[in-house]
Structure 1
Amino acid sequence: MSIEFSKPLATTETTIPGLLLVQLPVHGDSRGWFKENWQREKMLAVGLEDFGPVQNNISFNDAVGTTRGIHAEPWDKYVSVATGRIFGAWVDLREGPSFGAVFTAELDPSVAIFVPRGVANSYQTLEENTAYVYLVNDHWSPDAQYSFLNLADETVNIEWPIPLDQVEISEKDRNHPRLADVTPITPRKTLVLGADGQLGRALRDMWKDRADVEFVGRSGLDLTSDDLPTARRWKDYAIIVNAAAYTAVDIAETPGGRIAAWAINATSVARLAAVATKHDITLVHVSSDYVFDGTSTAEYDESAPLAPLGVYGQTKAAGDIAAATASRSYVIRTSWVIGDGNNFVRTMASLAERGINPRVVDDQFGRLTFAVDIAAAIKHLLDARAPYGTYNVTNTGEPQTWANIARTIFELTGHDPNRVSSVTTDEYFAMASTPVAPRPRNSVLDLAKLESTGLIPPLASDRLVAYLKVDVD
């Protein structure tokens, strides 16, 4: 065997999406050779994923022609050769347009390959005493989804260097199904938490045709349980969208409400972040303008210091900090959410219809955010693979007060906007007979960071017109 020494570390894309051939620098002299088989920092720099290996396996083959495969597993694999040489064949058995695609290559100690989840592996040894080495990012489990393909399948038509009737193959490998009978490996799933809330319903509608998205309401998963780390086979998930929250802002100021708010908005987020980090899951966590005190005269950008006024805001701020500890996370800060459910717009429209003249706060400023646009922003950030971090997400347009918006709602529904009278926040608090949480006076969020990713949300005024038309009709 002749190894090419001292070539530069490099990756090459193959005909199968995500399958990367890796050229490894091998340094040799009269004593032998040395290589860095897996060096995380250098390999990330040339395009490999930080796939988080947890196990290192070696398959030693003493004879030429030993043939194994074709096996697809629900985890990523990094394959290399320590001694000897192989002919490798990889077949895409993932559900999707590339199902059945084939790539072949010879591997020696200077060539490795990154095999993404669901791409099937097989190889044939070309030299005696070949040591086949692979790193994987999950442990074997009887509950995992596996798929297998026959080595002699006529559809993929792999041109084995040594005919299969002349080599050593296990009986099990010899009897794997043909491609037409293979069960494809499904994608890692997306888990939507809080799927019965306003944002959750918008996410349900947006992803209703996606079989790989699982929607969970309050009763489907106990986020406050110590058993959360084992509540799912988490390696089967790629994304968690946490739209679950304790949103009873005023009740959070009571003793019982305070406990519940901290459990759901902070402690459970820390648990989710730990799960996400351990299993290489992207965590999308939805937050609130209440993490700020509202005293700024400028729009709040993502770097503004946290300064929550009440219990709800404090718990959401703690949740932001916890979510950011996940190795892959998006924190979505939003405000004044309107969707399918009880909300300010529906309340005002109902009051207008019933002849009730409301007094509405006129010294709190912000923008309405329609749940459909938060859902679209989440999808955009995930699809665009935007840099992880915090993003403000609201609709666009001139900031308004609650009273301004109420008058617009009255007018759009055919009622006299002058029926809405103004009240200050302090006056509103003074009228309350139950605990009332402090509100930020300025809830206007700066959208420059989101817009830099290529998404400009619709005008809040346009969304309000459309929302009321559907709701009223």
Structure 2
Amino acid sequence: MVLRLPVHGDNRGWFKENWQREKMVALGLPDFGPVQNNVSYNLRAGATRGIHAEPWEKLVSISTGRIFGVWVDLREGDSFGALFTLELGPETSVFVPRGVGNAYQTLEDATTYSYLVNDHWSPQAREGYTFVNLADETLAIDWPLPLADADISAADLTHPPLTDVVPFRRPRTLVLGAGGQLANEFQAVMPDAEYRTVEDFDLTDPDAFDSTSWRDFDLIINAAAYTAVDVAETTDGRRLAWAVNGSAVAELAKVARAHGIVLVHYSSDYVFDGVNEVHDEDELLSPLGAYAQSKAAGDLAVSTAPRHYLLRTSWLVGDGSNFVRTMADLADRGIAPSVVDDQRGRLTFTDDLVAATLHLLNSDAEYGTYNVSCEGPVQSWADIAKDVFVLRGRSADDVTCVTTEEYGAGKQMAPRPRNSTLDLTKLTRTGFTPRHAHDALSAYLGS
């Protein structure tokens, strides 16, 4: 991405805004979070450096003099080997994505070349470099000064030709919680992502965070969660719920901040006490039980990551044990259950939740919190059970309606919000319309 910088001059010299986050981001520059500024002073015209593809993004600019800039796409994919050249002076800046080879040749003596990068250099980072030779015949770069007459380091002369370059592996997506119903849904539509189970990546173990090469990823989807709502009310359950739903999310947010990674995290209607009949994204958190409190802590933690999507959902149904599957099994076995009729909300199916996630990511929607559930009328658990029974060929009258208190008599149960309906206005304004709950339910049972 090429940016033209206004240079304001007078009899004393000139001034420019070399890095101006607000203006540049408004123009489309990624908010790449620079952490280091490097300056290369070149004594004579003809000094030639490159071609280096590095494992970070950078913003290149010139303080004094002029250069002939060269960029070669060395990332895996169809654009591998694409070439771009441009003459730069103080009035021009270029944003270089990670994995794009960068080189230049100075056109004037005393040229000062400056660049911002969004990761700190280290000997370990050097291992992530990819190189191509300045004189590669395939690229056939038209250098202003023939390379035979240029000042080039011995190391740069030994770089391989394009045909021998191992392409720079593009940053990948990391999905945590593999094996769970939400991660399973992602695996069906994002097979190239990297999936980690709780055994592969223990969210409660600091070593799991320290041993991961985070610069390999540009997106983390946290599909892992502690969901044993009632067990969370016990001493051990409460500690584990907080470790997974709260502390681990804070660590992921820290990683996302440090490495400029987009973080996707999932929340719950349980973060509200259910007093309001409908909950929008700006409602103050009011969790009732230990599980709910741990999820609310995760909501607060993920908000500290500059680039995050928090998808708040309700009554999730997917490939695994869930309410709909249980009701279908009871219907098939001829059992007539008693089901709570005073907790109200809407179902959410994992395929809809994944579709909403991908929509937000692919449409460059504004970062922040979004409610996600199916559309349709607000229902109680008993209403949904009746729908399941009818779709399985049973009578809706086979489901008996009971209150929460009646259902919970003699049981250790966490408090539940009585109203779990989520306002979908913000999501639909991005161009995504969830399925009607009845259509989704029919499709789920049909499969």
TM over 0.5: yes
Secondary structure (helix, strand or coil) at the match of 1:290 reads helix
- Superposition pairs for residues 109-258 of structure 1, below 5 Å? 109-141=90-122, 142=124, 144-208=127-191, 210=192, 213-227=193-207, 229-258=209-238
Corresponding residue number in structure 2 for 1:263: 243
Identity %: 59
Secondary structure (helix, strand or coil) at the match of 1:205 reads helix
Within the candidate set 91, 94, 99, 2:72 is matched to 91
Deviation at 1:104, TM superposition (A): 1.0
Within the candidate set 444, 449, 459, 2:426 is matched to 449
Query: Which amino acid in the other structure matches residue 309 of structure 2?
Result: Y
Deviation at 1:153, TM superposition (A): 2.0
Structure 1, residues 204-235: CA drift from partner, whole Å, max 9, x if none? 11211x2xx21111111122233455231222
Query: Which amino acid in the other structure matches residue 293 of structure 1?
Result: D
Superposition TM-score, scaled by structure 1 size: 0.90
Q: Give yes or no for the alignment of 1:106 onto 2:98.
A: no
Query: Which amino acid in the other structure matches residue 157 of structure 1?
Result: A
Query: Which amino acid in the other structure matches residue 123 of structure 1?
Result: Y
Q: Give yes or no for the alignment of 1:467 onto 2:447.
A: no
Superposition TM-score, scaled by structure 2 size: 0.95
| 8 A contact 1:228–1:271 mirrored in 2 | no
Deviation at 1:186, TM superposition (A): 2.1
Q: Give yes or no for the alignment of 1:437 onto 2:414.
A: yes
Aligned length in residues: 445
Secondary structure (helix, strand or coil) at the match of 1:318 reads helix
Within the candidate set 17, 21, 26, 2:7 is matched to 26
Mapped partners of 2:288, 2:66: distance in 1: 65
Secondary structure (helix, strand or coil) at the match of 1:134 reads strand
Query: Which amino acid in the other structure matches residue 211 of structure 2?
Result: A
Deviation at 1:258, TM superposition (A): 1.1
Structure 1, residues 136-163: CA drift from partner, whole Å, max 9, x if none? 1112343552221221223222111111
Corresponding residue number in structure 2 for 1:6: none
Secondary structure (helix, strand or coil) at the match of 1:105 reads strand
Deviation at 1:36, TM superposition (A): 3.2
Corresponding residue number in structure 2 for 1:53: 34
| 8 A contact 1:362–1:423 mirrored in 2 | yes
Q: Give yes or no for the alignment of 1:304 onto 2:283.
A: yes
Within the candidate set 292, 296, 316, 1:313 is matched to 292
Corresponding residue number in structure 2 for 1:334: 313
Corresponding residue number in structure 1 for 2:399: 420
Query: Which amino acid in the other structure matches residue 281 of structure 1?
Result: I
Mapped partners of 2:354, 2:319: distance in 1: 13
Corresponding residue number in structure 2 for 1:411: 390
Deviation at 1:291, TM superposition (A): 0.9
RMSD (CA atoms)? 1.7
Deviation at 1:109, TM superposition (A): 2.3
Mapped partners of 2:21, 2:423: distance in 1: 36
Secondary structure (helix, strand or coil) at the match of 2:401 reads strand
Q: Give yes or no for the alignment of 1:398 onto 2:381.
A: no
Mapped partners of 2:28, 2:325: distance in 1: 49
Secondary structure (helix, strand or coil) at the match of 1:192 reads strand
Secondary structure (helix, strand or coil) at the match of 1:117 reads coil
Query: Which amino acid in the other structure matches residue 363 of structure 1?
Result: D
| 8 A contact 1:27–1:34 mirrored in 2 | yes
Secondary structure (helix, strand or coil) at the match of 1:215 reads strand
Query: Which amino acid in the other structure matches residue 265 of structure 1?
Result: N
Structure 2 residue runs without a partner (length 5+): none
Within the candidate set 270, 282, 294, 1:290 is matched to 270
Mapped partners of 1:295, 1:85: distance in 2: 65
Deviation at 1:195, TM superposition (A): 1.9
| 8 A contact 1:70–1:151 mirrored in 2 | yes
Structure 1, residues 314-363: CA drift from partner, whole Å, max 9, x if none? 11111111111111111111011111111111111111222222111111
Deviation at 1:431, TM superposition (A): 4.3
Mapped partners of 2:206, 2:186: distance in 1: 27
